[in-house]
Amino acid sequence: MNLDEIRTHISRLDKELLTLLAKRKGLSLEVARSKLENPRPIRDQVREQALLVELINQGRQLGLDAHYVTQLYHTIIEDSVLSQQALLQDLLNPQDEVPAISVAFLGLRGSYSNMAARKYLSRFQATMVEHNCETFQQIFDTVESGQAQYGILPIENTSSGAINDVFDLMQHTSLSIVGELTQPIEHCLLVAVNTDVSKLKTLYTHPQVYQQCSQYLKTLPGVKVEFCAASSNAMELVASLKQDDIGAMGSADGGELHGLKPLVRGLANQKQNMTRFIVVARKPVEVAAQIPAKTSFIMSTGQQSGALVETLLVLRSHHITMTKLESRPIIGNPWEEMFYVDVAANVNSNEMQAALKELKDIVRFIKILGCYPSAEVAPTRIPSKALSQGNAGVPAVPPHRPADKNAAMSLQIGRFYMSRQEPLLAAMLATWPDRSALQEAARRLKEHGGQVLAAPCFEQGDSRQQQQRLQQLREIAAQFDLAAMTLVHTPEQLSRAAESLDLLLLQPIEGRRDELLTAAGRSTRPVLLPLADKLEHTLAEAEQILTEGNQQLALLDTQSRSLPELLRLQQQSRLPLLGQLPGQDSLLPELGHALKEAGMQGFCITLNEEDDMVPLQQLAQRLYQD
């Protein structure tokens, strides 16, 4: 076959894939209707997990890797769940057939609020009429007066926290919250013409974006930064000037609307930067009982001690989970507070109605802001057991973690938990690899069921190169849904790594790490402390970290200590213990298995450039299947 013929073939297959996906979606909507007739919850994670495990195994037989299959199906299932929810919501809240829906949001075309508005409206069969607003107040006014049907407002951001102005405006509005959505904020360097970072002289950006990308901007010392009122203004300017020495900072999708291309992605200091938006309208909506719902309300309590606790106890007694609590001053009443509460419950449920009745008796003021479908479709987790290779037909188990006997000792790294039952598996590259080798290591680690990718970001190079490595490590780890770790020698390196990575490995030379221990204790990231020569030194060092506040600490045995030594350590400390083992030891699987039995909660497998991952793969099989 020549290139054209192959492409024709690929196009035909893609069309078939789309036809099948559309058929699948149709069936999913049929399921939703049947769940409405014979009431059952929309989400069924036991079914999802069984499906995913089956697909991973089928995929393997066809030569597709587990990570690829999982990612693909997470997207398909997320769409399936959201489409089912939207269908049920439509049936419950029939809308007038309108050709256009108007939405008010902050900023111009391409702003993050604009992207959120587009995402929200994509679920309606109507075109969007955009109302660009300059202030949050203007958004409220536009919807209250009926000029727009919906208003989109950012309410909280994972790096900068609550957006207080929006909370304050919610106190006085007659509007209801009818929806929510979360938008990833990925700042990119956007340009209008083909160019290179080294040619840039000026960057246009919003002060908040500048702040959120401060680490990256330090790597561009010669570039002048000019502030604009919003990132959408910066994009508009750069698009109109079309010069190769200027750029804007904002989202890739937003930039595309202005014809800009992303030159560098993932500029933010914080690894995960998400903004949660609320959608407000004049009329409240009803949420179908089968859909996970959220209810938001505000309340003010008396000033007597324990008043807030009493209200929270009411929620607890009705088994209602609170997902958010914010307090804001009441304008005009100094020292009084208004509390904003989000709960994971439908306002019409019996529990919520009973809780509201009790709350009304004990608060001064309470107002429901709205009840709306929860937009979060958390991916169903697949146990490492199912991911470690060669495992056909793993029985489906419910996705929630079984109660861990050693709950007090388990630690969360990124989105993974380490425990004696499922030890953490990290691959640590001895030298910094090139991008494709790092990607290949990540792909294979994921395929074998490992969870943490580690590489030395600080061993060579200047500060700019080190920063680029941190970014690359975090980016590739995220691409394969792995956590990321690096070795840090100084407090400064520790704070830089803590901005991007999930786990910080402290340098092993004791006596030279006093300041590093203090910095680790003040960090909010989990820390891995290599054992000191003497047991009492290790315990003293661990204590130094814990007393500074950071309780996310695990110990690492770098010298394959004897079993009695390790058991003694475990008797004296409740901290999780990991072992560092060479990746090419033919006994790796047996050694790891024995150490797991002895209570180790994880393994850091060191790999040199030429090493293969066969022993690591065998270790994963022993760890997760025996």
Ligand X SMILES: O=C(O)C(=O)C[C@]1(C(=O)O)C=C[C@@H](O)C=C1
Count of alpha carbons within 13 angstroms of residue 369, beta-carbon side: 25
Per CB under 6 A, the list member of 49, 70, 80, 111 interacting with ligand X is: 80
Q: How far is the CB of 399 from ligand X (least distance, A)?
A: 11
Per CB under 6 A, the list member of 43, 258, 318, 385 interacting with ligand X is: 43
Count of alpha carbons within 13 angstroms of residue 185, beta-carbon side: 27
Helix (H, G, I), strand (E, B) or coil at 623: helix
Should residue 31 be labelled a site residue for ligand X when binding is judged by CB under 6 A? yes
Angle at 106 between CA 104 and CA 107, to 5 degrees: 120
Quick one: which segment of 75-83, 104-112, 116-124, 154-162 binds ligand X (CB under 6 A)?
Answer: 75-83
Quick one: which segment of 46-54, 91-99, 248-256, 612-620 binds ligand X (CB under 6 A)?
Answer: 46-54
Specify the residue, 43 or 271, whose C-beta has the smaller distance to ligand X.
43
Host H or E run for residue 474: helix 463-479
Specify the residue, 31 or 169, whose C-beta has the smaller distance to ligand X.
31
Q: Which of residues 51-70 bind ligand X (CB under 6 A)?
A: 51
Number of residues that bind ligand X (CB under 6 A): 10
Specify the residue, 24 or 224, whose C-beta has the smaller distance to ligand X.
24
Quick one: which segment of 47-55, 118-126, 472-480, 521-529 binds ligand X (CB under 6 A)?
Answer: 47-55
Helix (H, G, I), strand (E, B) or coil at 455: coil
Should residue 87 be labelled a site residue for ligand X when binding is judged by CB under 6 A? no
DSSP, res 407: G
Closest CA to 262 of 184, 186, 159, 182: 186
Q: How far is the CB of 27 from ligand X (least distance, A)?
A: 8
Closest CA to 300 of 363, 211, 255: 363
Q: Which single residue brings its beta carbon nearest to ligand X?
A: 80
SS3 letters for 297-318? EEEECCCCCCHHHHHHHHHHHC
> What are the start-end ranges of the E strands in 397-468?
411-413, 416-418, 424-429, 452-454
Specify the residue, 80 or 157, whose C-beta has the smaller distance to ligand X.
80
- What is the Cα 576 distance to its own chain's centre? 24
The four Cα atoms 218, 222, 228, 234 give a dihedral, to 10 degrees, of -100
Specify the residue, 396 or 566, whose C-beta has the smaller distance to ligand X.
396
Closest CA to 89 of 297, 375, 367: 375
Should residue 44 be labelled a site residue for ligand X when binding is judged by CB under 6 A? yes
Q: How far is the CB of 89 from ligand X (least distance, A)?
A: 15
Host H or E run for residue 336: strand 333-343
Specify the residue, 88 or 478, whose C-beta has the smaller distance to ligand X.
88
Specify the residue, 48 or 186, whose C-beta has the smaller distance to ligand X.
48
Q: Are 417 and 608 in contact (CB under 8 A)?
A: no
* Distance (Å, whole) CA 595 – CA 592: 5
How far, CA to CA in Å, does 530 sit from each of 502, 525, 560, 572, 582? 17, 16, 12, 16, 15
Per CB under 6 A, the list member of 47, 316, 360, 405 interacting with ligand X is: 47
Q: How far is the CB of 386 from ligand X (least distance, A)?
A: 17
- What is the Cα 314 distance to its own chain's centre? 31
The tokens for 88 are 């049920």
Q: How far is the CB of 79 from ligand X (least distance, A)?
A: 8
Helix (H, G, I), strand (E, B) or coil at 357: helix
Draw the binding track, 252-271, toward ligand X (x: CB under 6 A; -: no contact): --------------------
Quick one: which segment of 76-84, 86-94, 180-188, 548-556 binds ligand X (CB under 6 A)?
Answer: 76-84
Specify the residue, 28 or 552, whose C-beta has the smaller distance to ligand X.
28
Specify the residue, 322 or 377, whose C-beta has the smaller distance to ligand X.
377
The tokens for 165 are 């102005």
Specify the residue, 78 or 244, whose C-beta has the smaller distance to ligand X.
78
Closest CA to 140 of 169, 100, 117: 169
* Distance (Å, whole) CA 372 – CA 167: 17
Should residue 77 be labelled a site residue for ligand X when binding is judged by CB under 6 A? yes
Per CB under 6 A, the list member of 81, 117, 470, 488 interacting with ligand X is: 81
Specify the residue, 43 or 448, whose C-beta has the smaller distance to ligand X.
43
Specify the residue, 57 or 158, whose C-beta has the smaller distance to ligand X.
57
Q: Are 474 and 467 in contact (CB under 8 A)?
A: no
Q: How far is the CB of 88 from ligand X (least distance, A)?
A: 11
Draw the binding track, 473-502, toward ligand X (x: CB under 6 A; -: no contact): ------------------------------
Should residue 36 be labelled a site residue for ligand X when binding is judged by CB under 6 A? no
Q: How far is the CB of 35 from ligand X (least distance, A)?
A: 7
Q: How far is the CB of 34 from ligand X (least distance, A)?
A: 9
Quick one: which segment of 45-53, 193-201, 426-434, 558-566 binds ligand X (CB under 6 A)?
Answer: 45-53
Q: How far is the CB of 380 from ligand X (least distance, A)?
A: 8
Specify the residue, 23 or 47, whose C-beta has the smaller distance to ligand X.
47
How many other CB atoms sit within 10 Å of the CB of residue 239?
18
User: Which distant-in-sequence residues (6+ apart) come within 8 Å of 375 by Cβ?
Assistant: 82, 179, 180, 181, 182
The residues that touch ligand X, with contacts defined as CB under 6 A, are 28, 31, 43-44, 47-48, 51, 77, 80-81
